[in-house]
Each structure stands twice: as structure tokens, then as C-alpha cells.
Amino acid sequence: MNGAESLVHTLADCGVRLCFANPGTSEMHFVAALDREPRLRGVLCLFEGVAAGAADGYARMTGTPAATLLHLGPGFANAMSHLHNARKAGTPLINIVGDHATTHAQYAQAPLSSDILGICRPVSDWLHQCRSPGEVAADGARAVAAALMAPGQVATLVLPADCAWQDADGPAAPLPVPKARPVEAGRIDTVAAALKNGKRTLLLLRGRCLERAGLEAAGRIAARTGARIAHDYFSPRITRGAGLPAIERIPYFGEEIVARLAGLEQIVLVGAPAPVTFFAYPGKPSWVTPDGCDLITLAEPRDDATAALIALADALDARDVGRIVDLVRPAMPVPGALTSQAMGAIMARLMPDDCILSDDSLTAGPGIQAALKAGPRHDALFLTGGAIGDAMPMAVGAAMACPGRKVIAASGDGAAMYAMPALWTMARERLDVVTIICANRSYNILNIELSRVGAVHSNMGPGPRTLSMLDLHDPVIDFVKQAEGLGVEASRAETTQDFAAQFADAMTRPGPRLIEAVI
Amino acid sequence: MNGAESLVHTLADCGVRLCFANPGTSEMHFVAALDREPRLRGVLCLFEGVAAGAADGYARMTGTPAATLLHLGPGFANAMSHLHNARKAGTPLINIVGDHATTHAQYAQAPLSSDILGICRPVSDWLHQCRSPGEVAADGARAVAAALMAPGQVATLVLPADCAWQDADGPAAPLPVPKARPVEAGRIDTVAAALKNGKRTLLLLRGRCLERAGLEAAGRIAARTGARIAHDYFSPRITRGAGLPAIERIPYFGEEIVARLAGLEQIVLVGAPAPVTFFAYPGKPSWVTPDGCDLITLAEPRDDATAALIALADALDARDVGRIVDLVRPAMPVPGALTSQAMGAIMARLMPDDCILSDDSLTAGPGIQAALKAGPRHDALFLTGGAIGDAMPMAVGAAMACPGRKVIAASGDGAAMYAMPALWTMARERLDVVTIICANRSYNILNIELSRVGAVHSNMGPGPRTLSMLDLHDPVIDFVKQAEGLGVEASRAETTQDFAAQFADAMTRPGPRLIEAVI
């Protein structure tokens, strides 16, 4: 048994079931080892960003890490932006990165020599380079344990080729799975007391407490105390819709956040950091907690926020379930030109229970989301790190995590161009994913931000060269042809009626499928 | 004048003419400033890797740096793999990377907060973060000077948003352009003496000395001394073909390199490092200089190798031009299934003088190159850092650098999937680029490497799960549809006749154009 085989068996023993791979020569022993370990399945991705985004989506749905297999420094670099998103999401994820053999590392002139640890470090919570074949298996077990440190970490194991190909002893035993840190009773009592002080209060939730158990506890607390409950705009995952407690979503733009939080006297942080704006703007605050508003931490991100919410609800004797979302199947929007609001209404009208929505649309997002909040129960995965183009890759991973559930990926046209190879993996794996491209032929968010950041003089507006940098009309991108080129059935919707018919059809048949929604 | 404007004018004053851009909110002031500086043109790219590859191709053809404009940490990360290639090529290149305002940097919870210097450092020869708006212009001038340090460097300037939007004094004066270091006369004499010692000698060239002036001097030296002249497989750029001195290309695989170098008694390094293999292989050497062969350095990469070759030729009184490549227009290959050899023959038969060939094809490369070496005079740009997918982006930059010249990009199907958004910029800028996708429906290089690295047991061969990780048949990728979806005319060639007809047509009309060559 060589080092690669010892690692593959160890990962499988630790419960890792998928490896999203874009291998190269230095990873051939790992790939060959997959033939001898049926529990760990390789999923080929044609770009490393797809592999990383897929592993992120998989883990957000399962709570357990998938592995990626990446090729040396540049291969890892291609995955970094989506690893950045995964890290911001608190996703458990294991990167296996091949590197040159230890004997080859001395040759800086080799084309693929790189500062591989320097490349990996900025997006890795845990990073280790294997030093000998005999240690590879134990290194792998440590990587899995590191990935599972609450709320979830990006663990990167650099595997030099000779550590993979030389003889090793055998697999290593899994390490104990680290548990989320319990919140002390004293803290529960403190927060319970604060919730009785009559102040205007918001509970801000993030992490796994946005799944049903945590939300139900939060809903009980809200009903008992009058506190509002909310999640930030870029939550990694939330279970929502009909039958779930109603919860606010903090908006994207700073001034909208300020308006939403105005008048609050205390904010209870439940696995969430204090709210700040996404970007800074001249003359506007980044810090949006109102002056004089207390920030009280119930649970830090690494704590068991769900258990803390349940304990808090119990401490408050909060039994009423609170405000539960009633299902609203919207009326069919009026025929005519398609809008994001109409898209959301049609989706809420037609989608089945327990879909998964992977969404990195920016300007189309609020319109789509408006109706979905009261639509059928579903899990929504959002863009946590601002690195666009992860809706489709995350949908790949979510679909592989939950084979029985319909997955909907919603992406802007600008974002989608970062991730088109994801469609090929959807086709190859016959994944039940409907991808919706919100095609406004523009980096529309930047048209909005341009004046918000004061980059154009108010009396003259942006010039033609500036506007051309934000425009995607020349040439118009044909996502239907691109999708077909990657083996995915596709159609274009330019009206409400088109979109309704195509989306309805997509709900009745297994995917993959793509709809270019021209808005 | 704000900081961004002071930077844009400074870059223009320093001779920077193009900015390959994929901006975001934090770069809006830079984008707006482009409206007020007509000398610096923004070129929109839909993925940062395209921007970086385009800047690389531009600089390889002009010797002067282009700028990129990248969005924060993840945007830079998306450019890293092609910046790795650029750095290995010794390309002058300036990255302008937006970052959060300095006042916002304290908020680690902002989705796009990152260790931006940590992300930039591994692929930047020079790295600086602007500290105040008043210093931005001078920082920009220093970045240009750093990029121009011989042979060329990747210079990265991180521009916090508030340094861009706050008032600045005005542009900074360009700094003196650093020159390549001259080689001392004593070294010329030493090498001249060595070339008279009767040993079997190879001159190994890399860098700008592979353009006409350096090659002609090398050719004279070869004629005078009997030395062989060669360039490494992954040279950044070589001018070659009819009318240029004949020069060997060192092969890719280690054992082929060993065979090629066998019997040499001295290797003269001319801007080149000592040759090593691309990867390590079990039981095989990475170091391929024959035992007992002397390594003699004429010029280091930062030296003026062209001047050194000319001085050496003069010192040797080498006047005979040596072996010059005669134009060979190959016969039309026999009709039938297409091969890479037939493709190369057709290209050499039909292409005009002074094409630019940007090539990151792997297994198809030797076949294509076989005939091209004796084809019409052209510049060839190769994959210097092993990060695949740069042929199309480099072609974008080369076409913008040399508007009158036909550009041919040759890429494998695996590599092309890394770079498809480059086609959109070709269409938008009406670039005269013919992209050829060598579609073998496979990561074919890995099928070859799999056994070479000993990853499969010789008595059983690779298993089905291993082979599936290297196979691109399911689904077959339709590059014609994808190209059309990105606004580029495209066709598929499955036979010699198809390819000949389509390539001939492409040579008679301006591009962009794509040919999917099924081999």
C-alpha cells in the first residue's frame, strides 16, 4: 500500500464519500487509489473552482466534508475564490493538493514549482504538508478532524508526489469528531435576563441554527419576548418557507441595513458576528449597529448555537411556536416582459417542497427572493464570501448530497461566466439541477455601485468608457448555446409566459436543465 | 484629482496603454478615471484569468507591461494561475488590485475581507499596498519600474478604495526604465574560450534572445564553433520558421531530454536555467544535465543575453550566418481522420508570414509543431508555468499588441475549458484570432503520465474509475456551440479536408474564429 492508498482509505474510514477532482500528473497515484476504495467516489470537474464550490455546497447540505483533489500551486489557486466563500461560510472541507516530489522541490526552474504553502495559507484554516509516506494517513485523519472543527474549517493537505507513491503502512484510524462548543448555562441566563429587560431587541442568527431546530427555538423566543429574529444577507444556508418560523433577512446596502436596525436597543448575536456593511462608502459608516445599542453574544460561531437557542427558549419558558410562515402560492404574474419579481413569483408558485436553492444572483436576488420567502419549504444557500460564480458549483455539490431533492441554481449572467464548466459535471453526473441565468446583459450591481461610491460626478454622470466596462451587450452572451455545448438542455425565456412554461416543465422532469431568463 | 485618477494618469505617462479589467465595486473610481485618460484603454474580461493571460501575451509581444484591474482578494486569486505563468515567463506586468477602504479593513466579518497581501505575494515579484491617496501616483510609477526589471516582473499594487477616492496631488513622474544588466567582457571571453576547447557543446537560450537578433548571433556562433543551439520546451516566446536560424527544441518528457542531451560535455546557459524535468518520476532523475557535463553561464535571466550573444559571436569572429531554416510548405496531408501532424502540416502550408502562435496544447503540441518549425516565419508563445488554459487569453493580448498580425491560439480541450470567456473578449474587441481546439475528448496527457509515474500496476492496467477521471466523452463538449454562445464564429473539423478548408477560410478573413479539431 502506497501513501496515496493509505490516504484514500483513511478518508473513507473518516466518512468522506466524495472527492471533487481536477487532477494532474502529481495526483495520479491518488486517482489510481480511488479504484481500490469504493466508498470514496471521484467526481470530475473541469475547473478547480467548480470542485471547491461543489465541495462547499455538499458540506452545507450534509454537515460533513467532501474532499477536493487539486493540482499543485496553480490548480489550488484556481480554487481559491470559492474556498474563500467556503471559509466565510464555515464549511468543513478537505483539500488534497498534489505537489512535486520532495526530491524535485529544489528545482525552482521547473514550470510548476511554486510557493505552495504560501498559496494555500490565505484560504486554509488548517494547512499541512506531508513529510513522509508513512505519515500521510495520519495527516489525512488530522485534516478531517480539522475540517470538522466547528463551525467547519477549510483543511488543506499538501501531498508531495513521492509521499503518494512510496510505500506506507496502511490507513490511520479516524480521530474523534470535534463537537461544537456548548454554551455555558451562565450565558444562557444572562441573555434570558436581557430579553426580559424591555429593550427593543433583535436576535441575529448565522450557521446551522438557521435550520429547523434552531429557527423553531428562535421563533419561540420571539413569540415570548417580542424580540425580532433575523439572519444576515449572506447566510451560508437557511431552511425557510412555509411551515418555518418567519425571519427577517438583513438587506445588502448599508443605508438599508441602518434603516432596518434603527431603534434597536440590543442585538443578540447567535453564531453571527456584529453586522457591518459589505463595502465601505465615502462618508458612510461601515459599522451599522445603532449608537447605544448593546451587542450581546449568545453563541460564537464555533459554539452550538442551536442548543443555546433551545436552552434559551426553555429558560424563558417560551412555548408558543410564534409566527409561522403560511404558504403563499402567488398568482401567475401578468404576461409581458420578464422581471426578477415575476421569476420569484413563478418559482414560488410551481416549485415542490424541499427544493434546494443555490443563489449568487446580485441585483436580481431581492426580486427573486421576495416571493420565495413565503413559498414552499426549501433550503437556500447564499454567496458568503462575495466571490461570484458559486451558485452552479454549489448546486453540483448540493445535488450530489441530496439525490432526491430538486436543486435550483440562480446566477447572474456576469457571475455565471465564472462557472460554466459546472454544467458539464451536472450533465456527466445526471444531476437534478435547474440553472437559471438572470441575464440583464450587464454587471448591473456595478451600475448601481458606481454612483453610490461617488465615482461619478453627480452633475455629469458616468462617461462612455466607464459604462462600457460594466456592459455585457457586445456581444450578447447566448447561455442556451453554451449550455447545450456542455451537454445540458437549455432554453431562453424573454417573457413571463416563457419563463412559467419552461420552469413548470423543468419541475416535472429530472435535470440538468438551464433557463436563460432575460430580464 | 483623486488617487485613482492620479494613478491612471501616472500609468499612462509611464507608457502603459492597456488595462485588462474585471472590476468590482472597490475599483469603480479607477474605472471612472479611465474616462479622463484616453491613453489608457480598458479591455473588459469576463474572468480574471483572462485578464492576466491577456496582459502576459501583450507583454511577450511588446516587451512593455499592460495593467490588469482585479477585484479584491478573490478576484486576484482567479488571476493567480496565469500570473504564475507570466512570472515563469519573465513577463513585465502590473496588477492593480482594489481592496476595502482602510477604514473597513478592521471588519473581518465583511464577506470580501481577506489576507490580500498573503494572496498576492506568492505570484508577485514586487508587492505594495498604498497607504495614503497622496502616495498612490508614486506607488504606480514604482510598480511600472518594478515590472520592467529585467527580464520582467509581476508587480502588484493593492489600492484600498479610500486611497482611490480621496484627493491626491496629481500624477507622479515616470522613473528611469531599468535596463537589462550587461554581461561583463570577461565572461564573454571565458565563454569564447570554452567554445574553442573542442568539447561537445549546447547553447541553451531563453528569453528575449530567442527573437531574431539573439538567434542570428547564436546561429553564427553555432556555425563557427559546431555548438548546437536549443531552447527549452516552455519558452515564453521564440521567433522561428523560414529565414531564422535553425534551433532545437528540448523535448517535454524526461527520458527524451536525457537522450537529447546525451554526450554533451558542456552546456552554455544563455538566459536559461539548467534544464530539469517537468515532473519527478519514481526512480528517474529530475536533473538531466549529463554526468561530467559542464554548465557555463553566459547570461543570467536578468542579463542582456542578446547583447551577450552578439558580443560572443564577434569575439569568435563568427561571420557565417549558419544554418537558416528553409521554408517548407508541406504537401496537403492525405484525406481522412484528422491528426495533430496533419493539422500542423496544413497550418504550415496555409498560414501567412508573421503570424503569432499561442500554444498550450499538450499531447497535440508535438504533432502540430513538427511542420511549423519549417513553416512561415512566426512568433510562438508557449505555456511557461504549466497552468493550462492560457493560449486563448494570451492570444487576446497578443492580438491587441499586434493589430496587423494574424494570431492563432492552439489549445487542448481540457485546457480550453479553463479559458472560454476569452472568446467573448475576442468578439468584443474584434480580434483577428483563430482559436483551434485540439479535441481528443480526454485529459490525454494524464493517460500517458498515469503509467509513467507508476500509478498503475503494470500487470493489470488502470481501473475504470481511474480512467473515468481522465475522460471527457460523457458528455462530449461541443466547442462550436460554446464559441457561438460567446459571439465567435465556429466550425468543427473531423477530417483532414474539413480542417484544411476551415483553416484556409480563416486565413483569408479577419477573426475571431474557432475551429474544433477532433483528433
Q: List, in sequence order, the alpha helices (H) in B351-462.
A: 365-372, 391-401, 413-416, 421-428, 444-452
pLDDT for A64 beyond 90: yes
Task: Find cell 483539500 and name the residue.
Answer: A95
Check residue A447 and give its pLDDT: 86
Taking residues B382-394, report their average pLDDT: 97
**Contact predicate A368/A231, CB 8 Å:** no
Q: Indicate the pLDDT class of residue B28, thresholds 50, 70 and 90.
A: very high
Taking residues B344-372, report their average pLDDT: 95
Q: Indicate the pLDDT class of residue A195, thresholds 50, 70 and 90.
A: very high
User: For residue A298, is it within any domain?
Assistant: yes
Q: What amino acid occupies position B255?
A: E
pLDDT for B25 beyond 70: yes
Q: Check if B44 contacts A (Cβ < 8 Å).
A: yes
Q: Check if B448 contacts A (Cβ < 8 Å).
A: no
Structural domain tally of chain A? 3
**Lowest pLDDT segment from A221-225, A396-400, A477-481, B361-365:** B361-365
Q: Report the chain A residue with the minimal C-alpha distance to residue B389.
A: A47
Containing domain of residue A214, as a range?
185-315
Task: Find cell 473539423 and name the residue.
Answer: B493
Q: Indicate the pLDDT class of residue B458, thresholds 50, 70 and 90.
A: low
Q: Indicate the pLDDT class of residue A176, thresholds 50, 70 and 90.
A: very high
Check residue A461 and give its pLDDT: 79
A350 with A493, same domain? yes
pLDDT digits 0-9 by tens, B43-99 = 999 999 999 999 999 999 999 999 999 999 999 999 999 999 999 999 999 999 999
Taking residues B387-400, report their average pLDDT: 98
Check residue B459 and give its pLDDT: 64
Q: How far is B349 from chain A (nearest CA, A)?
A: 31
Q: How far is A473 from chain B (nearest CA, A)?
A: 9
Predicted TM-score (pTM) of the model is: 0.98
Q: Report the chain A residue with the minimal C-alpha distance to residue B45.
A: A469
A73 with A199, same domain? no
User: For residue B399, is it within any domain?
Assistant: yes
Tell me the C-alpha distance between A344 and B12, whole Å: 46
Taking residues A310-331, report their average pLDDT: 97
CA B373, B278, A69, B363 dihedral sign is positive
Check residue B192 and give its pLDDT: 98
B298 with B378, same domain? no
Tell me the C-alpha distance between B439 and B519, whole Å: 6
Nearest one of B19, B79, B70, B73 to B50, comparing CA atoms = B79
Check residue A353 and give its pLDDT: 97
Other C-beta atoms closer than 10 Å to the C-beta of A329 total 15
Q: Domain boundary at B132, B165, B198, which?
A: B165
**Contact predicate A327/A242, CB 8 Å:** yes
User: For residue A212, is it within any domain?
Assistant: yes
Closest Cβ opposite residue A100 in set B162, B279, B464: B279
For chain A positions 246-305, those within 8 Å of chain B (CB to CB) are 273-274, 276-280, 282, 286-287
Q: How far is B22 from chain A (nearest CA, A)?
A: 8
B200 with B311, same domain? yes
Q: Check if A449 contacts B (Cβ < 8 Å).
A: yes
Closest Cβ opposite residue A29 in set B80, B453, B474: B453
Taking residues B320-331, report their average pLDDT: 97
Q: Indicate the pLDDT class of residue A362, thresholds 50, 70 and 90.
A: confident
Other C-beta atoms closer than 10 Å to the C-beta of A263 total 10
Nearest one of B272, B456, B438 to B360, comparing CA atoms = B438
The set of cell numbers assigned to A93 is 472541507
Full strand arrangement of the beta sheet holding A237-240: A237-240, A378-382, A355-359, A407-412, A433-439, A513-518, A489-493
Q: Check if B468 contacts A (Cβ < 8 Å).
A: yes
Tell me the C-alpha distance between A62 and A38, whole Å: 20
pLDDT for B400 beyond 90: yes
Q: What is the ipTM of this complex?
A: 0.97
pLDDT digits 0-9 by tens, A108-130 = 999 999 999 999 999 999 999 99
User: For residue B456, is it within any domain?
Assistant: no
Helix (H/G/I), strand (E/B), else coil: A357: strand
Report the CATH number at residue A498: 3.40.50.970
User: For residue B460, is it within any domain?
Assistant: no
Check residue B264 and give its pLDDT: 98
A30 with A87, same domain? yes
- Site from B87, B114, B167, B382 to mutate, A interface, most A CB atoms within 10 angstroms: B114
The set of cell numbers assigned to B473 is 466523452
User: For residue A456, is it within any domain?
Assistant: no
Percentage of the residues of chain B whose pLDDT score is greater than 70 = 99
The set of cell numbers assigned to B477 is 463538449
DSSP labels, B104-131: TTT-TTSTT---HHHHHGGG-SEEEE--
**A23, B370, B425, B492, B497 from B438: Cα distances, Å:** 20, 15, 21, 11, 16
B147 with B201, same domain? no
Tell me the C-alpha distance between A10 and A136, whole Å: 9
User: For residue A16, is it within any domain?
Assistant: yes
Tell me the C-alpha distance between B366 and A357, whole Å: 46
B487 with B351, same domain? yes
A91 with A208, same domain? no
The angle formed by the CA atoms of residues B443, B448 and B452, to the nearest 5 degrees, is: 135
B135 with B244, same domain? no
Peptide bond into B512 cis (omega under 30): yes
Check residue B362 and give its pLDDT: 87
Residues in chain B closer than 8 A to A24 (CB atoms): 446
pLDDT for B144 beyond 90: yes
Length of chain A: 519
Does the distance separating the beta carbons of B480 and A31 come in below 8 Å? no
A399 with A504, same domain? yes
Round the CA-based radius of gyration of chain B to a whole number and report it: 24
The set of cell numbers assigned to B1 is 484629482
The set of cell numbers assigned to B106 is 478592521
Q: Check if B352 contacts A (Cβ < 8 Å).
A: no
pLDDT for A458 beyond 70: no
Tell me what the pLDDT averaged over chain B comes to.
Answer: 96
Q: List, in sequence order, the alpha helices (H) in A16-90.
A: 28-34, 48-62, 72-89
Taking residues A330-344, report their average pLDDT: 96
pLDDT for B311 beyond 70: yes
Check residue A459 and give its pLDDT: 64
In terms of C-beta density within 10 A (0-12 exposed, 13-18 middle, 19 or more buried), how is residue A449 classed? buried
Report the CATH number at residue A303: 3.40.50.1220
User: For residue A172, is it within any domain?
Assistant: no
A300 with A365, same domain? no
Tell me the C-alpha distance between B325 and B242, whole Å: 5
Taking residues A178-206, report their average pLDDT: 96
**Lowest pLDDT segment from B4-18, B333-347, B452-466:** B452-466
Residues in chain B closer than 8 A to A72 (CB atoms): 386
pLDDT digits 0-9 by tens, B227-266 = 999 999 999 999 999 999 999 999 999 999 999 999 999 9
Does the distance separating the beta carbons of A47 and B418 come in below 8 Å? yes
Percentage of the residues of chain A whose pLDDT score is greater than 90 = 93
pLDDT digits 0-9 by tens, B478-516 = 999 999 999 999 999 999 999 999 999 999 999 899 999
Q: Indicate the pLDDT class of residue B462, thresholds 50, 70 and 90.
A: confident
pLDDT digits 0-9 by tens, B181-236 = 999 999 999 999 999 999 999 999 999 999 999 999 999 999 999 999 999 999 99
Which residues on adjacent β-strands are paired with residue B181? B303
A305 with A392, same domain? no
Closest Cβ opposite residue B28 in set A386, A427, A449: A449
pLDDT digits 0-9 by tens, A127-143 = 999 999 999 999 999 99
